[in-house]
Every structure is written in C-alpha cells, then in structure tokens.
C-alpha cells in the first residue's frame, strides 16, 4: 500500500472513538447538508466462500486458493475509480458483503477503507459493517477487523438448530454461532446484527419461536428475520424438486413471521423494515440508505450500484452491475480501472417507482418531504389520493396516507408486494397524466 | 418433389398444391410424371397411351359397365390399407413400382395415433384380365367413423369393399364399425388378412374371428402380405369375380353422386363424382339437386390418381368434374348432379354435415387473431364439415365456436392448424349439442320451433320452460383381450354407458357394445381405455341419435359472483364431480389475493362443490441483497403489467391462465 501510514492510523483511531458516540444517535436522523449527489454508501463484494450453502444463489465462488493481494488491489482500484466517476465527496457507510468477507484478511479491509478515506471524506463515525460467518470468525480475527476500522458486524447465524444448519449446508453449529455472537458483542458492543431464517422445509412454528426466544437471550440490538426463498440452481431447490425434502409451507412461514414480529416487538425491538429489527436505535445506516434510494457504489465482482456519474459528466442516475466472474472482473479492473459490465440509466418514473417500492419497506414509509426530494411537482396526494383502489387499501387498514406521508400498516407490511401491484400502476398512470398535461404547455 | 407428388394421391393433394416448389401443381398426371426426372420410367404411361402422345385424352367409352368395378378398402389403423392400395396401384401400373412408397411415414401424428385418413382420394386402375380391359375404381375413404357420413357416401359409390384385417392383431373396433357400414350399404365384402409374413401372424385365428363376428365363411378370406406383395394379384382377381359391376345405364339422363370435393385455388372446386346414370362431358349444363344452382362443366376426367382429363365420363364410372363452383359448400358430399332441364330423383341419403362436437377456439394472443382467422378459412375451404361461428369470451377475447364431426375430427383440425399454419390456439373443452323440448309457449314462439339445439351453455333454457332435455348418444364398440373386460366395464359404467351386447369373437377376445352419452366419451375416454388396457383395447363409435337426459346448468361462483365463461351444462349425476374438478383447477390457478376467495359450483341456489383460496398473510420479498433491486423491480413491474389484463369478477382478479386451465382440454390427471 502506498498510503501514508500516519493518515490511515489516524482515521482508524478517530473511528474507534466515534464508534462509542454513535450508538445513541441511530439512523434515519438528520443527514449532512452536502448535496445528495455528492453523498453515497459503498458496498464491497468479497466473492469467495469456503463452501457452498444449500440455499444461496449469490455470486460466490469456492476457490482453491485466492490471490488475495491481486483481489485487494483490484478492489482498491475499483473503489477509487468509481468514487472519481461518481464525484462523491462523502461516503456515509461501507458494507463488506459476500461471499464470506470475514474470510478476507483484515489487511484487505484496511486497504479498501484507507483508499476510500483518501479519495473522499469518510467520517470517523461512518458505519462500517462486515458480514461474518460463525466458523470463519475466531475472536482474534474479529478483533483485527475492528482494529482496521470495521465497527459493525452482521453475523450469518441463520438457525440455532444443528439439524437445520446442516440442511442449509452451513459449516457451523449452534454453539459455534452463540460463541461467535458473544465474542462479537464483546468486541463491538451494541453494533452486532444476527440473521435468523424462517420457513425452512419441515420447520414448525413452535420450535422456531423457541429458537427466536433463545436468540433473544444472547443477541445484541439488531436482528434480521429472513424467509427462505428457494432459488433455482441451489442444492435445496433441487432436493425439494426431487421430493427429497418437503416444499416449505408458505402458511407456516407467514405464521412464523407474524409471531416473530410480535415477540421482537415485545422485546423492545422496532421493526424498521420488512426484515429488520433494532432496539436502542441500532438501525443499519447502510441499509437505510438503500430504502431511502440514496446513492450507493458497488465495488467487486457482481456488485450493484446506483449513482449519478457526475464525475464523468452524467446527468442521470444509473443502475450499474460489475462483471460477475472474479477473474474476468480483475482483468477488466486492471485494464480499465473498473469492471462495470452494465449501465442502465434510470428514467424519472423508474426512480420514483424505486422510491415507492423501497420506501414502503420501512416503518416510516415515504414522508412527504422524502417524496418531494425526488418529485417536486406531483405530491403523494396527487398520485394516490384519488384512486378508488388505493382507497380500498386504506379502508382495509393495510395502507396509511396522511399528513406524514404514505406507509404500510403493521398488517400491510407483510403483504407489501400485493399492495404494490395496486400502487405501481397508479403511479404510472399519474405520471402519464402529468406528462400529457405538460406537453401542450411545453 | 417426387415424394410430394406421390404423397398427394391419397391425402396430401391440397398440400401439394400449396407447396410453392411443386412444379406439377394442378397439372394432369402424365405431364407431372415427366417432371419426375430422368430416372422415372414412363412404362405405365406407355401401356395407356400407345401413340406416345401423352396429351391425348383417354377414351372412357372403352370401358362398358360390365367391365367396371367400384370398390373401397376399409381397415383398422395400421392394418395395412395404405400399403395394399400402393401394391394395387403398382400392380396395375398406375404408379411406379421402382419407388418405395412409404406413405405411412408422411401421416400426421393424429392420423397415426387414431387411424384416419383426413381426405379421401380416388384412383382408377386399368387392369387386363383374361383378355378383357377392366376399369377398377379404388375409392378411398376416410378411415374413421367420425367421418362415417363421408364414408357412407363413398361406400354408396361402391359395390364392394376389401376389409383388411391384420393377421396378428385380428379384428379391432374400427374393423367392426367399418364392416357394418359396408354391410348396411349391401356391398360385397372381401375379407383380406394382411401381414401374414409377420412372425406372430395367426391368420387361422383371424379367419375364425371373421366368421364369428361377420358371418363370412373362412374360405372367403384372402391371405396376403401387402408389404412383400404376396398374393396381392388374387385380390384383384377377387375384385373382378366377387364384386358386381355397377347397375348403371348410359341411356338414362345423367345422375351423378358427389362423394368428395376439394378446393384448388386456381381451378375452384373439384368434385369427385360417381355416375349412376347417363354421360357427362365438357360444356354440359348441370344442376346441383341441393342448391339448385346451374353450372357449366369446364372439365371432366379420371383420377390416375391425379386428375387426367377425358372427353366424357359414362354411367358406372368414377372421376372428377370442375364446373366453376367457388366454394366446397357448393359441392356438398352426398349431393346429386343432373343435367339442366332433365331433372332426376336425387340419390338417397343426402344430409348436410352435422357437427357433433363443439369447442371454442381462441388465439393465444389476440394480436394473432387475423392470422388464425385466415388459417381457419383456408382449412375450411377443403373441409366443409367444420362449422364456424364467431364467438367472444370475456376472458379469452375474440375467437370462434367450431363444430366438428367428432373428437378426432377436431384434433386433426387443430393439429393441421398447428403443423400447416404454425398457429397455436387455445381450444376449450369440447361440448356436445344438447337439445331441449320447450313447453313455454312464449319460448316456442321466440325460437319458432318446439325442439331447440343448445350449443352455448348461456342459451340453456330453464327447466320450468322445458318438457325434457335430450343429449346425443353413440353406440360404442370396444374390442379387448378378455383380461381387461372387468376394468373396461367399470369405466363404461362410470361414463353412464349402457351395455347392449357382449360376445367373444375368439378364445380370448371380447367385443363389447355400449350405448354412451356422447358427452361422456368426448374428453378422455379413449385415453383412459387405452391406459387401463395397456393399449390393447380398441374403440369406435357410431351416431345413435338422442335420448332423454336430466341436464342441469351449473354456475361457478367466485365470492358469490357468477363467472360467465364457466357456465356449464352437465348431467345431474355428473354435476358434483365436474363441479369439483372445476373448483379444484380454479383453486390451483387463482393467485392468492388480499382476501379469502370462495370458489363454488352451484346448481340454482344449491352449492355442490366448494374450494377456498386463502388470503395472503405474507407476500413480501425478504431481502434486497447487496442493493440488487433491479430484479425485484422487474418482477413487480411485470406483475403490475399483468394485473392490468386481469378480468375482474366482483373484486377478484382472475388471470387468463386460470380460465385457460379450467377451459382447456386436459388429459386425465
């Protein structure tokens, strides 16, 4: 690394101090007044895993040996290039996802963070999350990640039942998971999240609630509940297809979800998003940024980004995908400084659709102020206030439209995708009407 | 090229004419033969035309009535009818022996599966026997009783038939059905046991079956191998010896039977005719007894098997006639033609094609409507027995209600649409034409008749206005090895069949006769029969009129609202099971919504079946991983787009797919 050592250490020390201040503030609060186009989150994809999990269809690879120095250098280069292209001045959060990024060396994480801090302003208290798997995360390694600037851990615990862990193809046991969790909490107090899956084949509601209760005795201030979705191409999908495993029962999954939400609420957690629960204000700022349709840069093989390439003279936000396969991605990064494979400009309507779809996933929903940032002319009332079908949803108590904005009710959040099938066409129609009234004037 | 031309003689004539590469389109056969290339040997022609001038017309007066034999070949599927016909054509020099005529390979898939000839064809064979020149007219028939009317018209132009039976498989259901058609027409029947070269051939057993089932002495059977040509010559001998010449008189005024017609886009309708009396030649003014329209004859000729113009056709002969008819409905099968101002008594037995099975046909995508329309028009040009009504379904859009002679006819039509016109269609579950005898004076006045035919369930009159309902019935013949008899009888009973007869045709083969409501066999009876008899049982049926039936109209309701597309007329005893199946199919195909959906089948106000689609309790994607929301947005946009096309029944959104799954013809589960 060519970075001056002093500067790097300086950022890490400041980050350490800020970590302690940060906890009480929480996410979703007032942001820095810098223009939106100059702010972004950063997602770093580490594409390697030790072993293939039975449910996962992500872009990941099981390598025989990783040339980590080469990957590191490419991650650094691509982060620098994309920061330059985007004209982003302030990075608000960094998320190392994968794959299994806790398999990467802390040195690699450090190098990326240093590069970011050099190319843009990375506030000392910015959230820096690392996804960690229980087995790959011995306490000393986790501590090393902390030393280089990681200040939040997301642990892929998935289940506290050894048979289920085996079914999922995980390499850890329930006791591994709890031990890792305890170590993580010790190292990153108040800054540890755990994932718990629901709706596995043959899983029953009672035992699953038992797992959740047990988890509540050990967990920190952030829990994510994910329903298993069977993805084509995974081992689990094949097993269900062949009849070796029963298909997950959506009714049971729905019941687990509903009961799980209640249990977590009673334990003092706020469900701030469809799958995410936090107490003591420990919301994930990085994910919050996705739901608020803030900009984010995606670095690494197959990473997704959404930003305005201002540094390259762009005027429209783009959806970008990096090259999937790590070796090809590296070749491209070495040649061009980045491995962007696909750039799709987002139209105004498309962006609004994303604002709607993502925003409604949160408990705050879409506030009038938030909507106005993206669409100053058509208000939420203009778009949704007159529709008969929307009115039905409001009357059914699934949706709320009031002085605060548009949001799901407790019941509505669980069936958001059905609500969107009414809301999206309504938005499209309102947009078309706006366009047609604009044309004669213009 | 050659394959097309030869294939055309039996069933592909229309195909040949449409094929852009076929040089000999519509040309008389001799010239066409010349285009076959240097390898073709014109020896057959040389025999016909000693002068060597191929354009010279045949003088049909050379064949007096006593030297003419008109006959058909009838057989069960794959018993060797086509192969025998080929051998006869070769033996008489009508087609080239050096070519291997594997027409079996060219058959449509449904034809092979079900054993039918879509389009009957005819060929005149010239055969010299003991110094006499004979004219043997082989009148091919559609092989299936769906087309029994056409078969009976073809047979009425004959005096005898060759009944071909496979020496291995023995008598099958279609053999029986065909035999009785010939028997009723009082034709001479020559039993021909084919495939005696097969390893498992047992011609003696088949002889006994023929004796038992048809009362024909076993020594009358001719044992041949059409494939190898063994003993085929003696078939020709038998045709001359055992089939009488037609009873016809050249002195009488013209009386000609139309037994088939095809459409040629350049020459109009080509009618195949059999002359019962008189003579016809170019320039004659003729009249259709059915339409009373007058035409001038442009061309007459023999079929060799392609059209070969002649100066005249004489009583007892078979050939074709072109007379400026624009549409096949102008030359309906069974019609009688006579000379203008010399009216004759029309030949008996004429009736217009009567559709027995109806089905809705819709383009999968409405943008395909016009293409499908033109494809249907082209196919019906050659098949006047398909009736076409325009129809519109709220769910499936604009389409047609088509009437077919039978289920097979429908399948062939559909398959030809797909294969020849590349059209994919939604074909709804077939229904049969029910009848109602009205009691309400008001309705009788409205319909102007007492007995009405109900094609569309929406027109089903209420019981209070009706004396009785009637349903079409058929007499089915099943032939099976006796080990399957019990299972088959249970199947027949489940289909409301009434046993009429049961006999052993040999040691272990049983022939069953059942009277079935047509509705019970139109959907999947044949497949069920085949599967429970490991493919050994054969089935055929013939029209048996109408019988009283307790019919009811069944509604399908979604949360209390009637779904108009799904109104069905069913027999009272079947209402529960049919209603249950529809409800189950709907349950499987209706997407869950934000509220519970009750799916009910009801007769009047009585609910007879119910299923429930539960409300969504959870429908939200767990996670938008790593910021990949593109996929999610795409999915949502597609679903939202699809939602716009949904039909609303009450407040329930029903996708087109759900209707298709319920309405479409489906194999048994």
- Give the domain CATH number at B186: 3.40.50.300
- Give the domain CATH number at B516: 3.30.70.240
pLDDT tens digit sequence for B477-502 = 999 999 999 999 999 999 999 999 99
Instruction: Give yes or no for A53 touching B (CB within 8 A).
Output: no
A424/B624 touch (CB, cutoff 8 Å), yes or no? no
A305/B624 touch (CB, cutoff 8 Å), yes or no? no
- The answer on whether B197 is annotated among ligand-binding residues is yes
Q: Which of B616, B626, B636 sits opposite A424 (nearest CB)?
A: B636
Q: Higher pLDDT residue, B396 or A199?
A: A199
- Least confident range from A421-435, B141-155, B172-186, B368-382: namely B141-155
**Residue B499 and residue B489 in contact, taking contact as beta carbons nearer than 8 Å:** yes
pLDDT band at A307 (very low <50, low <70, confident <90, very high): very high
Q: Higher pLDDT residue, A189 or A19?
A: A189
- Count of domains observed in chain B: 5
Let me know whether B101 and B223 are in one domain: yes
- Give the domain CATH number at B398: 3.30.70.870
Let me know whether B75 and B224 are in one domain: yes
A418/B628 touch (CB, cutoff 8 Å), yes or no? no
Q: Which of residues 208-267 of A touch B (CB under 8 A)?
A: 224-227, 229, 250-251, 253-255, 257-258
B643/A425 touch (CB, cutoff 8 Å), yes or no? yes
Give the strand pairing for B294-296 and B285-288. antiparallel
B640/A303 touch (CB, cutoff 8 Å), yes or no? no
Which of B590, B615, B623, B632 would best serve as a mutation to test chain A binding (most A beta carbons within 10 A)? Answer: B623
Let me know whether B529 and B566 are in one domain: no
Find, in chain A, the residue whose alpha carbon is nearest to that of B636: A421
Let me know whether B220 and B104 are in one domain: yes
A304/B626 touch (CB, cutoff 8 Å), yes or no? yes
Asked if the structure places residue B172 within a domain, the reply is yes
Q: Residue B105: what pLDDT? A: 31
pLDDT band at B142 (very low <50, low <70, confident <90, very high): low
Let me know whether B588 and B613 are in one domain: yes
Chain B residues within 8 A of A358 when measuring between CB atoms: 624, 629
Element (H, E) at B574: none
Is pLDDT of B77 > 50?
yes
- The answer on whether B195 is annotated among ligand-binding residues is yes
Q: Which of B617, B627, B651 sits opposite A305 (nearest CB)?
A: B627
B644/A275 touch (CB, cutoff 8 Å), yes or no? no
Is pLDDT of B535 > 50?
yes
Other residues' Cβ atoms within 10 Å of the Cβ of residue A38: 17
What is the pLDDT averaged over residues B131-159?
A: 79
B622/A227 touch (CB, cutoff 8 Å), yes or no? yes
What is the pLDDT averaged over residues B207-228?
A: 93
pLDDT band at B631 (very low <50, low <70, confident <90, very high): confident
Return d(Cα A116, Cα A110) in angstroms, integer: 10
Asked if the structure places residue B46 within a domain, the reply is no
User: Which of A275-279, B214-218, B348-352, B394-398 reaches the highest mean pLDDT?
Assistant: A275-279
Return d(Cα B636, Cα B656) in angstroms, integer: 18
Instruction: Give yes or no for A432 touching B (CB within 8 A).
Output: no
Residues with Cβ within 8 Å of A10's Cβ and at least 6 positions away in sequence, in order, are: none
State what percent of residues in chain B have pLDDT above 90: 37
Token pair for B194: 């084919």
B619/A418 touch (CB, cutoff 8 Å), yes or no? yes
Instruction: Give yes or no for A411 touching B (CB within 8 A).
Output: no
- Shortest Cα–Cα distance, B650 to chain A (Å): 13
Q: DSSP labels for A1-47?
A: --S-HHHHHHHHHHHHHHHHHHTTT-SSSPPPSS-GGGEEEEEEEE-
Find, in chain A, the residue whose alpha carbon is nearest to that of B643: A421
Superfamily of domain A34-289: Aldolase class I (3.20.20.70)
Find, in chain B, the residue whose alpha carbon is nearest to that of A425: B640
What is the pLDDT averaged over residues B95-113?
A: 49
Is pLDDT of B46 > 50?
no
Q: Residue B48: what pLDDT? A: 38
Q: Which of A253, A296, A420 sits opposite B618 (nearest CB)?
A: A253
pLDDT band at B117 (very low <50, low <70, confident <90, very high): low
Q: Give the 3-state secondary structure of B604-655.
A: CCEEEEEEEECCCCCCCCCCCHHHCCHHHHHHHHHHHHHHHCCEEECCEEEC
Let me know whether B327 and B461 are in one domain: no
What ranges do the domains of chain A cover?
34-289, 369-438
Which of A418, A426, A427 would best serve as a mutation to test chain B binding (most B beta carbons within 10 A)? Answer: A418
Is pLDDT of A68 > 80?
yes
Return d(Cα B149, Cα B151) in angstroms, integer: 5
pLDDT band at B589 (very low <50, low <70, confident <90, very high): confident
Q: Residue B155: what pLDDT? A: 85
Instruction: Give yes or no for A350 touching B (CB within 8 A).
Output: yes
What is the pLDDT averaged over residues B634-663?
A: 82
Token pair for A415: 């069936």
Asked if the structure places residue B7 within a domain, the reply is no
**Which residue blocks in A23-160 are alpha helix, DSSP H?**
68-86, 106-119, 139-147
pLDDT band at A407 (very low <50, low <70, confident <90, very high): very high
Find, in chain B, the residue whose alpha carbon is nearest to that of A342: B630
Q: Higher pLDDT residue, A394 or B639?
A: A394
- Give the domain CATH number at B296: 2.40.30.10
Residues with Cβ within 8 Å of B504's Cβ and at least 6 positions away in sequence, in order, are: B212, B482, B510, B511
- The answer on whether B81 is annotated among ligand-binding residues is yes
List beta partners, residue A408: A399
Q: Residue B666: what pLDDT? A: 55
User: Which of A403-417, B335-349, B375-389 reaches the highest mean pLDDT?
Assistant: A403-417
Q: Which of residues 56-85 of A touch B (CB under 8 A)?
A: 58
List beta partners, residue B89: none
Return d(Cα A46, Cα A295) in angstroms, integer: 20
| Summary mean pLDDT of chain B | 81
Residues with Cβ within 8 Å of B166's Cβ and at least 6 positions away in sequence, in order, are: B76, B78, B79, B80, B172, B193, B194, B195, B206
pLDDT band at A19 (very low <50, low <70, confident <90, very high): low
B628/A357 touch (CB, cutoff 8 Å), yes or no? no
Return d(Cα A50, Cα A60) in angstroms, integer: 10
pLDDT tens digit sequence for A318-357 = 999 999 999 999 999 999 999 999 999 999 999 999 999 9
- The answer on whether B75 is annotated among ligand-binding residues is yes
Is pLDDT of B235 > 70?
yes
**What is the span of the domain harbouring residue B536?**
434-549
Instruction: Give yes or no for A296 touching B (CB within 8 A).
Output: yes
Token pair for A433: 């009407």
A415/B617 touch (CB, cutoff 8 Å), yes or no? yes
Q: Higher pLDDT residue, B20 or B76?
A: B76
Q: Residue A368: what pLDDT? A: 97
Asked if the structure places residue B347 within a domain, the reply is no
Let me know whether B153 and B234 are in one domain: yes
Residues with Cβ within 8 Å of A38's Cβ and at least 6 positions away in sequence, in order, are: A87, A88, A89, A90, A310
Q: Higher pLDDT residue, B253 or B330?
A: B253
pLDDT tens digit sequence for B403-448 = 888 777 888 888 888 877 877 788 887 888 899 999 988 888 888 8
Let me know whether B237 and B96 are in one domain: yes
The total number of residues shown for chain A amounts to: 442
Residues with Cβ within 8 Å of A67's Cβ and at least 6 positions away in sequence, in order, are: none
pLDDT band at A288 (very low <50, low <70, confident <90, very high): very high
Let me know whether B238 and B119 are in one domain: yes
Token pair for B207: 């002889």
């Amino acid at each position: 690394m060519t970075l001056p050592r002093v500067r790097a250490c300086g950022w890490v020390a400041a980050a350490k101090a800020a970590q302690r201040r940060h906890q009480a503030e929480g996410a979703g609060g007032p942001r820095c007044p810098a223009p939106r186009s100059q702010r972004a989150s950063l997602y770093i994809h580490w594409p390697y895993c030790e072993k293939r999990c039975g449910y996962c269809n992500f872009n990941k690879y099981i390598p025989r040996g990783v040339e980590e120095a080469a990957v590191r250098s490419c991650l650094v280069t691509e982060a620098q290039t994309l920061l330059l292209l985007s004209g982003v001045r302030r990075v608000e959060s960094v998320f190392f996802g994968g794959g299994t990024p806790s398999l990467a060396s802390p040195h690699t994480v450090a190098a990326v963070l240093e590069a970011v801090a050099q190319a843009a302003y990375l506030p000392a208290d910015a959230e820096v999350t690392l996804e960690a798997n229980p087995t790959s995360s011995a306490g000393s390694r986790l501590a090393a990640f902390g030393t280089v600037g990681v200040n939040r851990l997301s642990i892929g615990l998935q289940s506290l039942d050894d048979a289920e862990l085996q079914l999922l193809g995980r390499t850890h046991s329930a006791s591994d998971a709890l031990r890792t969790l305890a170590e993580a909490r010790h190292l990153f107090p108040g800054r540890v999240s755990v994932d718990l899956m629901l709706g596995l084949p043959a899983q029953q509601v009672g035992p699953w609630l038992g797992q959740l209760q047990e988890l509540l005795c050990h967990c920190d201030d952030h829990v994510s509940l994910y329903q298993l979705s069977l993805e084509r191409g995974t081992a689990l999908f094949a097993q269900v297809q062949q009849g070796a495993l029963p298909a997950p029962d959506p009714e049971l999954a729905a019941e687990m979800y509903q009961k799980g939400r209640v249990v977590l609420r009673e334990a003092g957690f706020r469900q701030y998003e469809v799958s995410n629960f936090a107490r003591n204000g420990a919301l994930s700022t990085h994910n919050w940024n996705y739901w608020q349709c803030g900009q984010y840069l995606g670095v690494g093989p197959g990473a997704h980004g959404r930003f305005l390439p201002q540094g390259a003279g762009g005027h429209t936000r783009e959806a970008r995908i990096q090259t999937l396969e790590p070796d090809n991605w590296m070749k491209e990064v070495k040649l061009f400084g980045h491995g962007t494979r696909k750039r799709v400009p987002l139209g105004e309507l498309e962006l609004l659709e994303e604002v709607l779809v993502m925003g409604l996933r949160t408990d705050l929903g879409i506030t009038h102020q938030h909507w106005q940032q993206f669409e100053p002319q058509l208000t939420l009332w203009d778009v949704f206030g007159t529709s008969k079908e929307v009115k039905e949803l409001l009357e059914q108590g699934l949706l709320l439209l009031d002085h605060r904005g548009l949001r799901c009710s407790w019941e509505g959040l669980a069936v958001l995708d059905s609500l969107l099938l009414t809301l999206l066409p309504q938005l499209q129609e309102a947009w078309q009407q706006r366009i047609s009234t604009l044309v004669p004037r213009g | 090229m050659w394959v097309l031309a030869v294939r055309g003689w039996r069933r592909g004539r229309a195909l040949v004419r449409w094929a852009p590469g076929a040089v000999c389109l519509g040309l008389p056969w001799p010239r066409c033969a010349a285009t076959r290339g240097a390898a073709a040997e014109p020896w057959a022609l040389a025999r016909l035309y000693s002068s060597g001038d191929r354009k010279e017309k045949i003088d049909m007066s050379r064949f007096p009535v006593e030297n003419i034999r008109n006959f058909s070949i009838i057989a069960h599927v794959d018993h060797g009818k086509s192969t025998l016909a080929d051998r006869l054509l070769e033996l008489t020099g009508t087609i080239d022996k050096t070519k291997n005529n594997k027409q079996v390979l060219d058959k449509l898939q449904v034809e092979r599966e079900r054993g039918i000839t879509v389009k009957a064809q005819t060929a005149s064979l010239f055969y010299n026997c003991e110094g006499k020149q004979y004219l043997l007219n082989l009148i091919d028939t559609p092989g299936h009783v769906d087309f029994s009317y056409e078969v009976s018209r073809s047979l009425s132009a004959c005096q005898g038939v060759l009944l071909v039976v496979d020496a291995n498989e023995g008598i099958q259901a279609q053999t029986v059905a065909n035999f009785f058609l010939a028997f009723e027409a009082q034709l001479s029947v020559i039993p021909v046991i084919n495939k005696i070269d097969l390893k498992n051939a047992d011609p003696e057993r088949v002889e006994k079956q023929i004796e038992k089932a048809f009362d024909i002495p076993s020594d009358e059977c001719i044992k041949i191998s059409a494939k190898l040509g063994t003993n085929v010559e003696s078939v020709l001998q038998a045709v001359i010896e055992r089939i009488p010449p037609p009873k016809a008189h050249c002195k009488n005024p013209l009386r000609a039977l139309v037994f088939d017609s095809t459409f040629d886009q350049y020459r109009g309708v080509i009618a195949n005719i059999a002359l019962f009396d008189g003579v016809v030649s170019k320039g004659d003014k003729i009249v259709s007894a059915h339409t009373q329209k007058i035409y001038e004859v442009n061309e007459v000729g023999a079929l060799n098997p392609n059209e070969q113009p002649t100066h005249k056709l004489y009583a007892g002969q078979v050939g074709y006639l072109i007379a400026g008819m624009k549409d096949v409905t102008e030359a309906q099968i069974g019609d009688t033609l006579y000379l203008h101002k010399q009216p004759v008594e029309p030949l008996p037995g004429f009736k217009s094609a009567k559709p027995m099975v109806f089905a809705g046909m819709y383009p999968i995508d409405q943008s395909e409507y016009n293409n499908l329309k033109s494809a249907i028009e082209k196919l019906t040009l050659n098949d006047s027995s398909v009736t076409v009504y325009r129809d519109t379904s709220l769910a499936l859009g604009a389409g047609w209600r088509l009437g077919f002679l039978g289920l097979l006819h429908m399948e062939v039509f559909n398959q030809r649409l797909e294969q020849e016109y590349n059209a994919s269609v939604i074909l709804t579950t077939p229904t049969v034409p029910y009848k109602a005898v009205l009691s309400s004076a008001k309705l009788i006045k409205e319909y102007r008749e007492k007995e009405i035919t109900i094609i569309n369930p929406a027109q089903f009159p209420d019981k209070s206005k009706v004396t009785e309902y009637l349903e079409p019935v058929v007499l089915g013949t099943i032939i099976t090895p006796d080990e399957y008899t019990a299972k088959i009888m249970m199947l027949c009973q489940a289909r409301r069949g009434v046993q009429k007869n049961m006999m052993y045709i040999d040691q272990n083969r049983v022939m069953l006769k059942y009277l079935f409501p047509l509705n019970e066999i139109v959907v999947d009876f044949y497949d069920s029969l085949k599967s429970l008899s490991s493919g050994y049982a054969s089935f055929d049926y013939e029209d048996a009129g109408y019988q009283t039936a307790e019919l009811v109209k069944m509604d399908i309701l979604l949360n209390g609202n009637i779904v108009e597309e799904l109104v069905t007329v069913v027999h009272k005893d079947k209402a529960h099971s049919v209603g249950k199946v529809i409800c189950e199919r709907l349950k499987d195909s209706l997407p869950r919504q934000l509220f519970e959906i009750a799916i009910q089948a009801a007769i009047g106000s009585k609910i007879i079946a119910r299923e429930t689609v539960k409300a969504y309790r959870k429908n939200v994607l767990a996670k938008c991983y790593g910021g990949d929301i593109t996929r999610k947005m795409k999915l949502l946009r597609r679903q939202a787009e699809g939602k716009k096309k949904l039909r609303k029944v009450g407040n329930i959104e029903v996708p087109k797919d759900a209707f298709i799954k319920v309405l479409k013809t489906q194999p048994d589960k």
